[in-house]
Amino acid sequence: MAKGLAGYAAIGYRAKAESIAAEPADIIFDNTNFLPVYHNDMMNVAREAVIVSPFVTRRRALQMLPNLEAALAKRVSVVVVTRPTNAYKDKDRPALEETLASLQDTGVRLLFKANIHQKFAVIDQKIVWYGSINLLSYGSAQESIMRLESPNIAQELLKTLAPIVKVW
């Protein structure tokens, strides 16, 4: 059995109880446990962060604001891509417009793309968060998001935004 485990370890598998804290986290998270790792990535951003969140809520944007402000204070480019305000219900627009104005006031560059469904973040063109969680509006529904370090995947995702985002 030990020989089998050593073989699996050689190709990248880990025993469930084995600690992975010392290495980069390439893991699938849910909406209850991704936040500390995501916050850490945002606190360590060096050049740029692109966040694609089709929907934005005041509660989640305010929760993320300290991380965005810390990044901006380091002269990091922070771009948020979301749906335009006319994609929201009339009753939700005033709160959304106020929230987006708060983001812009801190220095976040807002870009709008109609009918966007992708949900991801790319940090320093190498760390990718990709999944079903709207990073600026997630709720309590069971959702998941994957974190991986891959410059190639980061570039592929950023290319999907090429018509509207030119930060790299």
The secondary structure of 14-52, three-state, reads CCCCCCCCCCCCCEEEECCCCHHHHHHHHHCCCCEEEEE
Which CATH number belongs to the domain containing residue 85 in this structure? 3.30.870.10
Query: Average of pLDDT values for 121-148?
Result: 94
pLDDT in tens, 59-111: 999 999 999 999 999 999 999 999 999 988 899 899 999 999 999 999 999 99
Q: Is residue 108 part of a domain?
A: yes
7 phi/psi in degrees, rounded to 5: -65, -45
- Tokens coding 15: 């025993």
Tell me, what's the pLDDT at 81?
96
Q: Which domain holds residue 155?
A: 19-159
pLDDT at 55 over 90: yes
Number of domains composing the chain: 1
Query: Residue 13: inside a domain, yes or no?
Result: no
- Residue 6 within a domain: no
pTM for the full predicted model: 0.82
Answer whether residue 117 is part of any domain.
Answer: yes
- What's the one-letter identity of residue 150? S
6-37 tens-digit pLDDT: 444 444 444 444 444 455 556 999 999 999 99
Q: Considering the domain boundaries, does residue 42 fall inside one?
A: yes
Measured CA to CA in angstroms, residue 95 lies from 41, 83, 92, 104, 108 at distances of: 28, 14, 6, 14, 18
Other beta carbons less than 10 A from residue 142's beta carbon: 8
